[in-house]
Each structure stands twice: as structure tokens, then as C-alpha cells.
């Protein structure tokens, strides 16, 4: 009824990946057992080890199949921006949009599991699991370098270290906005409007406000950019 019996054949892999993704969001990586996954996917217990080798490899694959696309989209967005800018530094707002835009778009996709995955991803930046952290760091290395470089050029005169911190802050705000909206009961009953599509402009405005806030006093009150400006 609910899940199609088992019929096809090579569909098993994807059923496992989808089931694992949802369960990881709901219960966490460690608290999700193989038996929970295979039951939800409607496949035999041994299927995970047959198709993926181990639980660790399954976790890696769950992240990889979406993260590769996400980061490709990010790099493509940055490429397009830099191409049409033709040498002149990008506006900070454009760089920020290029990085967080694709993430938020994926977070809005409730049809194909994009939203589910982004909730998982957001929570995973603080995962203690060393294996997952290592893997995430590798997957993000290039994207991070590219976008930080673009941000450095777009904010000349601002110490790179300050930009790095603010990028860190922006990632935090975004991850929580996505991962915590319905995960955390802290604000339970307080949000009238948790529509993820309305999240985008709200968050973007906040991020840019934070990015361009006056720098904390290192002796003189230098600003991160000329004047405040809408997103």
C-alpha cells in the first residue's frame, strides 16, 4: 500500500538512500539503525551491506549524491557572475546570493527531498562524527576557497580574517534557519509563517546586514563597506 512492494530490481539502491535520508533527519545518524532503514525502504536487511558495503559508506553516499549537485550549482553561479562582471569585483550581495541561494533553493524543494536533505546537512556541520566531518571538509574545500576569494576581492580593505568570521556567522545563521525551523521546538507555536519560500528574502537581508555591519573596534571604527543597502 504505502510503499510499492519490492517489484523492480535496481531501484533498491535509491529506495535505501531515500529512506536513510529521511530517517537521518528524524533520528540522527547514530540513532538510525540498519533495520529502521531497510524496513522503511521495504528491502531486506542485508541489502545495505550488499549495495553499499557498510553503514558508513551509506552515510557518505547519502551526502554525496546531493552535495555534489549543490556545490556544482554554487560554482556555476559564481562562474556566471564573474563572467558577466568581466574583471571588476563583484558586489558582496551577489557573492552571498551565489553561495546561499542554491542552498535555499534546494531547501524549498519539498517534492524531491531537497528540503529533507538540507535539514540534514545543516545539522551535520556540527556533527561530532569524525568520518563525516572529514568528508564534508573535502567536499567543501574548493567551493569555500572560490567564494572566500571572491568575497575578499569584493570587500577590499576589510581584513580577510574579519570576512572569514562573518562568513562563518552567515553559515551558522543559514544552517539554523534551514535545519531548525521545524526541528527545534524552541520557537514552537511562535511562527505563524514558516513557509520556506519566504525564508529566502528574510535571511538574505539579515546576512547582508551582518556582513556589512561596522567592524568591531580594532582601534578605529572602520566600516566593512560604504553605506547600508538593501539586499
Closest separation between CB of residue 9 and DNA, Å? Answer: 4
Write out the residues near DNA by the rule CB under 7 A: 6, 8-10, 12, 32-36, 43-51, 54-56
Four-point Cα dihedral 33, 36, 39, 42, nearest 10: -80
Selection from its own copies, DNA, none that 9 binds (CB < 5 to 8 A by kind) is DNA
Comparing CA positions, the residue from 50, 55, 64, 52 lying closest to residue 35 is 55
DSSP result, 136-163: HHHHHHHHHHHHHHHHHHHSTTS-HHHH
Does 70 contact its own copies by CB under 8 A? no
Name which position in 185, 219, 220, 226 contacts its own copies (CB under 8 A): 185
Q: Which is nearer to DNA, 40 or 94 (CB)?
A: 40
Decide: 94 and 190 in contact? Cβ < 8 Å.
no
Closest separation between CB of residue 51 and DNA, Å? Answer: 6
Name which position in 12, 60, 154, 175 contacts its own copies (CB under 8 A): 175
Compute how many other C-beta atoms are within 10 angstroms of the C-beta atom of residue 81. 16
Closest separation between CB of residue 175 and DNA, Å? Answer: 25
Selection from DNA, its own copies, none that 55 binds (CB < 5 to 8 A by kind) is DNA
Amino acid at each position: 500500500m504505502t510503499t510499492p512492494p519490492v517489484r523492480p530490481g535496481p531501484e533498491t539502491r535509491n529506495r535505501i538512500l531515500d529512506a536513510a535520508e529521511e530517517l537521518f533527519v528524524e533520528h540522527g545518524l547514530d540513532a538510525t539503525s540498519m533495520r529502521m532503514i531497510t524496513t522503511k525502504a521495504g528491502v531486506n536487511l542485508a541489502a545495505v551491506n550488499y549495495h553499499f558495503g557498510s553503514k558508513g559508506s551509506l552515510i557518505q553516499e547519502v551526502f554525496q549524491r546531493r552535495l555534489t549537485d549543490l556545490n556544482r550549482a554554487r560554482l556555476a553561479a559564481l562562474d556566471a557572475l564573474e563572467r558577466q562582471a568581466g574583471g571588476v569585483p563583484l558586489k558582496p550581495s551577489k557573492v552571498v546570493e551565489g553561495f546561499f541561494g542554491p542552498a535555499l533553493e534546494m531547501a524549498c524543494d519539498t517534492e524531491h527531498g531537497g528540503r529533507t536533505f538540507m535539514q540534514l546537512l545543516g545539522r551535520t556541520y556540527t556533527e561530532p562524527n569524525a568520518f563525516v566531518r572529514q568528508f564534508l571538509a573535502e567536499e567543501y574545500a574548493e567551493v569555500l576557497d572560490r567564494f572566500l576569494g571572491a568575497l575578499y576581492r569584493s570587500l577590499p580593505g576589510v581584513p580577510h580574517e574579519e570576512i572569514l568570521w562573518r562568513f562563518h556567522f552567515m553559515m551558522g545563521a543559514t544552517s539554523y534557519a534551514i535545519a531548525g525551523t521545524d526541528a527545534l521546538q524552541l520557537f514552537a507555536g511562535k511562527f505563524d509563517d514558516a513557509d520556506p519560500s519566504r525564508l529566502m528574502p528574510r535571511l538574505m537581508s539579515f546576512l547582508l546586514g551582518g556582513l556589512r555591519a561596522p567592524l568591531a573596534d580594532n582601534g578605529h571604527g572602520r566600516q566593512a563597506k560604504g553605506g547600508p543597502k538593501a539586499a
